[in-house]
C-alpha cells in the first residue's frame, strides 16, 4: 500500500537517510461564528500542506527530495476571539517559544522547515520565531494561507473553502452575516474588546451564498502558489517564503 507523505505515519529508519522538507500546519482553536468549527484555521492549513506534499517535487531547488507533513499545531495566538466560548489562545510569548523549540528540534534531522499558517493572528509571532531560527543557522520559513479578496473572518471565503473539502463540518443553516464593515474601521474597537466588541455572532463578513465550487478555486490557487514557492525556496527578511 502506498504510504502518504505524513510524518506521523513513518518510522525513524525511513528518515535516517532522507533529505526532508517538513511542512508544519499551524492553526488555531477559536470561534468561527455559529456555522464553522473551532478548528477551521487548522483544517485549512492542514489541507494546504497535505495537498502540497502530494505534488511532484522533482524540480525542488537544492538537495531536498522528500516533502512530509507534520502533525498539525492546533493552538495559536487568538486573544481577539476570547470573548467567545471554545477559544483557546496560547498568547504570543508562549507561541513564539513553541515555534522556536519545535524548529530547533525538527531541524536536527529535517533539512528545511516550513510553517504553513492558517491563522492571521499568528503571523507576527511566526516572523519573529522564524527569523531567530534562521539566525541560528536553520533553514526555516513560513507561508500564509491567504486568499485574495478574502473577507476577514468566518465569512464567504472560509465558508466556501470548508464547503469544498470539509462540507460535513459546516452548519449551513446557521450561517448568517456578521459585521461587514472594513476591518480597518473595526480595529479601534477590536483592540480593546476583541471581535466580540464588533460582532455579536463572531463573523466579520457574510457567509451566506458561500459555495464549495468557489472554495475549490481558492484552494487550488493557494496550493499552486505554495507549490511554486516551495520549488524556488526564496525566503524574505521576515522569514516568509515566496
Query: Could you state, in order of their start, the residue ranges of all structural domains in the chain?
Result: 7-232
Alpha helices, DSSP H, located in the chain: 40-53, 92-106, 123-135, 156-165, 183-193, 212-232
Confidence of residue 143 (pLDDT cuts 50, 70, 90): very high
CATH number of 7-232: 3.40.50.10310
- Which whole number is the average pLDDT over 7-27? 94
The pTM of this model reads 0.94
Q: What is the pLDDT of residues 51-99, one digit of tens each?
A: 999 987 555 555 547 899 999 999 999 999 999 999 999 999 999 999 9
- Which whole number is the average pLDDT over 203-213? 97
Task: With beta carbons less than 8 A apart as the criterion, state whether 216 and 164 touch.
Answer: yes
Quote the mean pLDDT of the chain: 94
Q: According to the model, what pLDDT value does residue 60 have?
A: 57
Please determine, for residue 152, whether its predicted confidence score (pLDDT) is greater than 80.
yes
- Please state, in angstroms and rounded to a whole number, the distance separating the CA atoms of residues 14 and 2: 14
Task: With beta carbons less than 8 A apart as the criterion, state whether 72 and 42 touch.
Answer: yes
Amino acid at each position: 500500500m502506498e504510504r502518504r507523505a505524513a510524518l506521523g505515519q513513518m518510522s525513524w529508519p525511513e528518515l535516517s537517510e532522507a533529505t526532508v522538507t517538513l511542512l508544519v500546519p499551524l492553526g488555531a482553536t477559536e470561534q468561527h461564528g455559529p456555522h464553522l468549527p473551532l478548528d477551521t484555521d487548522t483544517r485549512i492549513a492542514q489541507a494546504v500542506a497535505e495537498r502540497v506534499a502530494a505534488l511532484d517535487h522533482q524540480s525542488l531547488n537544492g538537495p531536498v527530495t522528500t516533502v512530509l507533513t507534520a502533525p498539525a499545531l492546533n493552538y495559536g495566538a487568538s486573544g481577539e476571539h476570547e470573548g467567545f466560548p471554545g477559544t483557546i489562545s496560547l498568547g504570543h510569548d508562549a507561541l513564539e517559544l513553541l515555534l522556536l523549540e519545535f524548529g530547533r528540534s525538527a531541524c536536527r534531522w529535517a533539512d528545511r522547515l516550513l510553517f504553513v499558517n492558517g491563522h492571521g493572528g499568528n503571523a507576527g509571532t511566526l516572523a519573529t520565531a522564524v527569523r531567530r531560527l534562521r539566525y541560528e543557522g536553520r533553514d526555516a520559513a513560513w507561508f500564509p494561507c491567504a486568499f485574495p479578496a478574502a473577507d476577514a473572518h468566518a465569512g464567504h471565503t472560509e465558508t466556501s473553502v470548508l464547503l469544498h473539502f470539509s462540507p460535513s463540518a459546516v452548519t449551513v443553516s446557521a450561517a448568517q452575516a456578521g459585521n461587514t464593515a472594513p476591518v480597518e474601521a473595526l480595529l479601534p474597537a477590536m483592540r480593546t474588546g476583541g471581535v466580540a466588541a464588533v460582532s455579536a455572532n463572531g463573523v466579520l463578513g457574510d457567509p451566506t451564498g458561500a459555495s464549495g465550487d468557489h472554495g475549490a478555486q481558492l484552494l487550488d490557487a493557494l496550493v499552486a502558489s505554495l507549490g511554486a514557492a516551495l520549488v524556488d525556496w526564496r525566503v524574505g527578511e521576515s522569514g516568509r517564503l515566496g
